[in-house]
Structure 1
Amino acid sequence: MQEQRGQVVERGTGVAVWRQIEAALLRDIRERHYAAGERIPNETELAERFGCNRHTVRRALGVLEREGLLRVEQGRGTFVQEHAIAYSVGKRTRFSQNLSGQGRSGRIELLRASELPATPELAQALELAPGTPLLQLLTLGHAGAGSGGQDAAAPRAINLARHSFEAARFAGLDALLRETGSITQALQHFGVKDYTRGQTRVMAAMPDAEAARLLAQPRSRPVLLVDSVNRCSEQGRVFQHTLAQFSGDWVQLVFEP
């Protein structure tokens, strides 16, 4: 029997050490010794605490991660998983409003902007002729992570989205988005005062390398793929197509009636 910082690890009992470590960390989480969103000690520190090697600790952490109790962020560490963000999908879906209603901050980061001709699929979605020049914006949506723990206040990426607009009508939208950090605010410059969701399709998919890196999740973990179009409330015509990848660990999609 060994005791490390008040933690007992027993050997020769028939219960594997990594199982005992898993149980001890689970107890710490349930008793809120580590709060939701808080970073836990690293493998070296835990190995010292339990008097074992890092491989044994890593095995215990892997189980807790697969069970959705911990998350690993590349370059930052291992954190207690927070509850998923309930992201509302309805007639009027707004990124920042969705988050502010839950006491979280929201910000859209423009990663890149490009022009390309409309593929037959995008042309159909936007009700345009194939080949029509489109402005495509790749954005990363950040959410404030809540109030638990020292590291919990740091925003994290929850979705990666490709937005397509008719280039001639929305020239300069990318600059306005960089300035405002909000697509809704940027669209007002073009006379789009209000808009509604025309259609939404949701499926599960595996992220590509870029999405996994930007969302800080393994490529082996699925994302929620949301394909949607928005219509201008005044004119009734489709003006935006979005294909978004939401982190399945962080987001629950809630559909309003």
Structure 2
Amino acid sequence: MTITRDQVLDRALGLAAWRQVADAVEADITSGRLKPGDRLAPESQLAERFGVNRHTVRRGLAMLAERGLVRATQGSGTFVETAPVVYPIGLKTRFSEVMAKVGREARGELVSAEHVPADKGIAEALGIEKGSPILQMHTIYRADGVPLSFARTCFPLPRFLGLDQHFAAKGSLTKAYKKLGIEDYKRLSTRITARMADPAEAAQLDIAPGRVVLIISSINVDLEGVRIQATQSRFVADRVELTIER
């Protein structure tokens, strides 16, 4: 087997080779030469710049991704992470309204939807009997195309039959609710914890496995105080700055 010059260099430098790539790209980011949202040069160009092979470049960028400095998007390239979004949580938390205030384009995407029996935790959250039918939706919310959160949301049936179809068409839960006659709703409770993202969550959120996600468990009620929604959202920790409003 023929060993290339780049492979010899990689073996000789070991850790230093990919660390050199990571440190140089980080310096470009911290100095402002690369700004939030900028696309990095292709791996082939970075490999030529540092005199290493693409595997070494990829390893260096992976380390930056683990630290939350860059984001690799399949088919599009690697981008400098954008500044965290200030995300207020209060009685009326609306993703689209929050994004509009900070000048970001908001969009919700339906990943999956199914009718399932409520487990004990969801039944308690919605104030229904265990085993009662619910609509369970998995969704991704993006700001300017960047995933901010991946959520599992449950609604009691038959009241919310067809809500998933309205959400898929509108990309907004508030707009989907209006299709079913719910003009407004409010937050009953919010609980925030944190942990490392599992592989499935990391894939949905375009982050490296092991990045920290904030887990926001919430319950919403209609204006009559009836529980209508139980959600567990996983936010990329360094893409949002949570604030609590009263």
The answer, yes or no, to whether TM exceeds 0.5 is yes
The residue identity in structure 2 corresponding to 1:236 is: G
Q: Which of the residues 147, 160, 163 maps onto 2:153?
A: 163
Change (3 A) 1:68 1:169: closer
Name the residue aligned to 2:81: 81
Higher helix share: 2
The residue correspondences of 1:70-109 to structure 2 (distance < 5 A) are 70-109=70-109
**TM-score, structure 1 normalization:** 0.81
Name the residue aligned to 2:9: none
The residue correspondences of 1:183-194 to structure 2 (distance < 5 A) are 183-194=173-184
Aligned residues of 2:141 and 2:150 also touching (Cα < 8 A): yes
Whole-Å separation in 1 of the counterparts to 2:143 and 2:177: 21
Whole-Å separation in 2 of the counterparts to 1:62 and 1:119: 38
Name the residue aligned to 1:126: 126
Q: CA RMSD in A?
A: 2.2
Q: CA deviation at 1:172?
A: 1.3
Q: CA deviation at 1:97?
A: 0.5
Question: What are the ranges of 5 or more consecutive residues in structure 1 without an aligned counterpart?
Answer: 1-15, 145-154
The residue identity in structure 1 corresponding to 2:197 is: P
Name the residue aligned to 1:253: 242
The residue identity in structure 2 corresponding to 1:247 is: V
Question: What are the ranges of 5 or more consecutive residues in structure 2 without an aligned counterpart?
Answer: 1-15
The residue correspondences of 1:176-215 to structure 2 (distance < 5 A) are 176-215=166-205
Whole-Å separation in 2 of the counterparts to 1:59 and 1:166: 46
Equivalent residue pairs, number: 231
Q: Deviations over 1:96-130 (max 9, x none)?
A: 01111100011111122111111121111101111
Change (3 A) 1:163 1:42: same
Name the residue aligned to 1:221: 211
Name the SS of the counterpart of 2:197 in structure 1.
coil
The residue identity in structure 2 corresponding to 1:169 is: R
The residue identity in structure 1 corresponding to 2:151 is: A
Whole-Å separation in 1 of the counterparts to 2:113 and 2:18: 48
Q: CA deviation at 1:82?
A: 1.4
Q: Deviations over 1:39-65 (max 9, x none)?
A: 111332112123344455455445544
Q: Which of the residues 220, 224, 238 maps onto 2:227?
A: 238
Change (3 A) 1:18 1:200: same
Change (3 A) 1:184 1:238: same
Whole-Å separation in 1 of the counterparts to 2:117 and 2:21: 55
Change (3 A) 1:168 1:177: same
Whole-Å separation in 1 of the counterparts to 2:80 and 2:26: 10
The residue correspondences of 1:24-173 to structure 2 (distance < 5 A) are 24-54=24-54, 57-58=57-58, 60-144=60-144, 155-173=145-163
Aligned residues of 1:73 and 1:217 also touching (Cα < 8 A): no
Identity of aligned residues (%): 40
Change (3 A) 1:41 1:122: same
